[in-house]
Amino acid sequence: MIGNDIDKKSIKTLAQLTDKCETVVTTCHVKPDGDAIGSSLALFHILSALGKTVHIITPDSPPRSLRFLPGCKDIIAVSAQEDFCRSLIEKADLIFCLDFNTLSRIDRAEPLINEAKAPKVLIDHHLDPDSFADVTISRPAESSTCALLFKVICALGLRPIIDKKTATCLMAGIMTDTGNLSYNANDPDLYVIVSDLLRLGVNKVYLWERLNTKSRNQLRLNAFAIDKRMESLLGGRASLITLSDDDLNAYDYIKGDTEGLVNIPLSIPDVAVSVFMHQEPGFIKVSMRSKGEFPVNKICADHFGGGGHLNAAGGEFKGSMNEAVETLRRVLPDYAGHLPLLEK
Ligand code: 5GP
Ligand code: MN
């Protein structure tokens, strides 16, 4: 049965903590994506249905593309209301940490959560979680925190209170982290979960449309990036896209406009590694994707101040774009042994 394989001791402690708590805070990683927001909102709906007071706190605001999700307007961002968030975190008697493995991933929320007295529960699917939480449910093999959260909800015996709103939020996270069930999507149980969510009323077609809307500027920027700023590395096995401040400004860039761009070069059969770098204030944001066993999380951890999953990772490079590109060119050949064999 779905959820049966979650560690029983963790579920027992989690059930006790949930039973006795009254005020809950959820938090998730910086630049929250559909999985971070979806899991936060799903938990908000479940715990609210149990009569708890729940505050959803994020390091910064969710992107516009996610604001249609039920409950999203109740999210409070530390970047906008730091003092208010601090007081809510101080008063909470249980804190859920969702979709991140280390407190540095929650950016400006880190000191607030660090100081909090309440017990913490980590539910996440990133590798190598830090041991800051009282209960850690970490499953790197899961496609998404939302799929894992569904299993946890089932293990707690709370499946009957999942309603359409909760199901929609969970499905949004699953779709985001699997590219609409394209990658990280080989687990047969995932389709049992999806089937259950559809029965609960999720409109997958509508969700797909809402999660994949793009503005004209965004489309043009992405087309420009592929046409003018994409280059080949490692003899065509790797692809690099870079966007400078000037490039971004020319298309009135707003945060989130390049979401998904890094995946596109992987549609070229020979390309097994895709790197996208863009200028952020004070650093170069690096995103990497790969096929097979090519460990982009290791490259990001070793050279780009970050980490992530085997096939999807990122980091923040403190330096100029030229330095970031030079670093990549220098280190990439060290990992060439991990490239999957070319298909005939
Ligand atoms: P994205 O490329 O979509 O920004 O991030 C993909 C994955 O890489 C994320 O789910 C996260 O696991 C990881 N990641 C992205 N940026 C960072 C970062 O700055 N630090 C760390 N540790 N991981 C990151
Ligand atoms: Mn995730």
Q: Tell me if 315 CB under 6 Å of ligand 1.
A: yes
Q: What pLDDT shows up at residue 300?
A: 98
Q: What pLDDT shows up at residue 135?
A: 98
Q: What pLDDT shows up at residue 256?
A: 86
Q: How far is the CA of 298 from the centre of ligand 1 (A)?
A: 12
Q: What pLDDT shows up at residue 64?
A: 86
Residue ID of nearest Cα to ligand 1 atom 3: 287
Closest CA to 331 of 298, 287, 283: 298
Q: What pLDDT shows up at residue 299?
A: 98
- For residue 104, what are the contacts with CB-CB under 8 A and spacing of at least 6? 110
Q: Tell me if 314 CB under 6 Å of ligand 1.
A: yes
Q: In this structure, what token pair is assigned to residue 324?
A: 């970031």
Q: Tell me if 312 CB under 6 Å of ligand 1.
A: yes
Q: Tell me if 308 CB under 6 Å of ligand 1.
A: yes
pLDDT by 10s per residue, the chain, length 344: 899 999 999 999 999 999 999 999 999 999 999 999 999 999 999 999 999 999 999 999 998 889 999 999 999 999 999 999 999 999 999 999 999 999 999 999 999 999 999 999 999 999 899 999 999 999 999 999 999 999 999 999 999 999 999 999 999 999 999 999 998 899 999 999 999 999 999 999 999 999 998 999 999 999 999 999 999 999 999 999 999 999 999 999 998 899 999 999 999 999 999 999 999 999 999 999 999 999 999 999 999 999 998 999 999 999 999 999 999 999 999 999 999 998 77
Q: What is the pTM of this model?
A: 0.90
Q: Tell me if 285 CB under 6 Å of ligand 1.
A: no
Q: How far is the CA of 316 from the centre of ligand 2 (A)?
A: 18
